[in-house]
Structures are given as C-alpha cells and as structure tokens.
Amino acid sequence: MAGLVTPMALRVAVTLGLPDRLRADRPAATAHATSAGLPDTVAHLATELGVDPGALELLLGHLVTLGVVERVEGGYRTTGLGANLCADAGTGLHNLLHHGTAAGRADLAFVDLLHSVRTGEPAYPLRYGQDFWTDLAEQPHLRDAFDRQMTWRIRQRVPKFVDAVDWARFKKIVDVGGGPGDLLTAVLAAHPDVRGHLVDLEVGPARRNLGDRAEVTQGSFFDSLPTGGDAYLLFDVLHDWDDDSAGRILARCAEAMPESARLIVIEGIRGVGVATEMDLIMLVHFGGRERSVEELAKLAEPHGLALDEVTEVPGDHSVLEFRKHPI
C-alpha cells in the first residue's frame, strides 16, 4: 500500500506512450543484442523516446512484473491488462495518469500531502506556483484534458442524475460552474420546454454541446450570476473549494435567485458512497473537501438558503435541494 514505485512506473509508462507503442498490432522488431547488450528494440525505443536505454529496460522490467507488458521474442508487448492504459482504450486512464494532463499533473502534488495535512491548504500551488484553475486558464491543453475528464466521468451516470430531479418544473436552469455542460445538455434533451444558462470560466465545450438550447456566459461564479432562473445548479462545484470560497459561491447564487427559485446541489457526500481517496484529492489539488449533508446545510444557511430535500442517487452522489428563506 505504501509504495510509490508502481503508481509512478505506470504514470511514466503512460506519459512515454509505452502501452500504445508496444501494443500487439504494431510490428515487433527482431531480437539481437546491441553492443550495450540490450535487445535492439529497447535501444531503438529509447532513441525514439529520447530516454536512457538502461533505465528504460528497468522500467520495462517492472511493467513486466505488473503484467502490463510481457517479454516476447525481440522485445516487449503490451498485454491485455496494459491495453487499458492506451490512449484509445476508452477507460479514461490515459487522461488521468499522463503527466501532461490536468489530473496526472495535479496528482504529482501528492508528494506534498504532508504540507496539506499540516496547513489544510492545497499542495498544488506549492508545486506549480499558482492554483489549478489559473493553470487551466493559461494552458489550453490542460483545460481540454480536464473537460474531457469531466465528460468521461459522468458519461454513463448522466441518466441517473436526469432521473433524480423533477427538472420539468423549472422553466430555466442556471448551471453554475457547468463546465462542458453534459448534465444540462441531457436534462434539456429530456425536457424540451426547459431552457438553460451555463456559466463557467471556460465555455467552448459547453457552447458546442448545448447549441441553441442554452445561453452560455463566460464568467466567474464569484461575480454576479444571471438572475431570473427557476433553478440554480451546482454540480461537483462546492467540493473544489474551502468553506470561505464555497460560501461566497452560495451567496452569489442566493443573490441571483428569485424568491421562488431552487438551488440544486449535486455532490458526493462524505461517508456516503464516496471514496475517501476523493477527500484527499480535493484537499491536495484545491484545498477543497467533500462534505456531509449537515455541513452543506450549515454552509448555505447564512446566505438565506434552507435545505428542503435530500435525494440519494443510488451508489453515487446526493441531490440537495435548497429554497430561499428570510435571513
């Protein structure tokens, strides 16, 4: 459990593209020893990848131990297990583990978990000099990778969230921090009379997904939000933030909400069907946290938001519905 070697070996393998490079549908080179005594496939591979051949051989050796690649005549092949790490495997792993993607890069901050535990602050800025969202704004390839990750994570779960809420009672849903807008897109597809308005720092993918069914505004949820919605949606947003920032997001929602509007918060609830790993990921990447229902209700209360109803989506997040109440 405590070893760092295997996770890093897998991540470096993905970053170097080894599972793709060694997949069975690529032709194998023939085996013969080089002057350095290495099979020529490793020497060629090392030259191709710009890495040290001896070190590559050590990495491949550990990947063999893990069953991710196997030795074959003339070199190495990706196994069926290792094929899960290929870019087109459809597992989402490549986008999570590659050092050049948003998640893979952010996870490297786990080396400074001790800092986060000592201070309660994210380790990410300690490593990269600024916060995660600023990096995404400045490096479009990280933003693309993050949006792909968001879409991938709910691709099979969207119908559960569409079914979990009676969306048809709302004329207009404001999706706050809606990202690529996958849930809003599915809700609007299921309810042709409902319209949407998505707000996020980055809105390119949302514009493509939502078409003319929703307005899309590029902006911050720490600033004023669009008024006049019947529902305001925060899906996996609050857990990215510490209590102070999460409170400010809730305040902006409450200010924009008409008296009759509802706030729909969809979050993993700490201790309910959510991996404890996610608690630490939120801490290290963002200084955020998964919260209990009571903690979310307490956070919302000073902003004039009263918790009305909690619906547990089986084996998944919970839906918390808030209404406005006089402060």
Ligand X SMILES: C[S@@+](CC[C@H](N)C(=O)[O-])C[C@H]1O[C@@H](n2cnc3c(N)ncnc32)[C@H](O)[C@@H]1O
Tell me which of 124, 167, 221, 322 binds ligand X, using CB under 6 A. Answer: 221
Q: Is 198 in the site for ligand X (CB under 6 A)?
A: no
Tell me which of 10, 102, 150, 214 binds ligand X, using CB under 6 A. Answer: 150
Tokens 């800092």 found at = 115
For residues 164 to 193, the per-residue mask of contacts with ligand X, x marking binding by CB under 6 A and - elsewhere, is -------------xxx--x-----------
Query: Residue 123: how many CA atoms within 13 Å on its side-chain side?
Result: 19
Tokens of 4: 């760092």
Q: Is 235 in the site for ligand X (CB under 6 A)?
A: yes
Task: Tell me if residue 215 falls in helix, strand or coil.
Answer: strand
Minimum Å distance from CB 236 to ligand X?
Answer: 4
CA distance 314 to 306: 24
Toward ligand X, which CB reaches closer, 53 or 205?
205
Tokens of 168: 């048809």
Determine which helix (DSSP H) or strand (DSSP E) holds 153, and give its type and residue range.
helix 140-154
Residues 240-259 that bind ligand X (CB under 6 A): 240
Minimum Å distance from CB 122 to ligand X?
Answer: 13
Q: Is 200 in the site for ligand X (CB under 6 A)?
A: yes
Task: Tell me if residue 162 falls in helix, strand or coil.
Answer: helix
Tell me which of 7, 34, 222, 258 binds ligand X, using CB under 6 A. Answer: 222
Supply angle C-alpha 276, 277, 279, rounded to 5: 65
- What are the E-state strand segments in 177-326? 195-200, 214-218, 231-235, 262-267, 305-312, 318-324
Q: Is 220 in the site for ligand X (CB under 6 A)?
A: yes
Output the residue with the shortest Cβ distance to ligand X: 179
Tokens 């918390």 found at = 320
Tell me which of 201, 278, 306, 313 binds ligand X, using CB under 6 A. Answer: 201
Residues 84-143 that bind ligand X (CB under 6 A): 133
Catalytic residues: 239
Q: List contacts with ligand X (CB under 6 A).
A: 133, 150, 177-179, 182, 200-202, 220-222, 235-237, 240
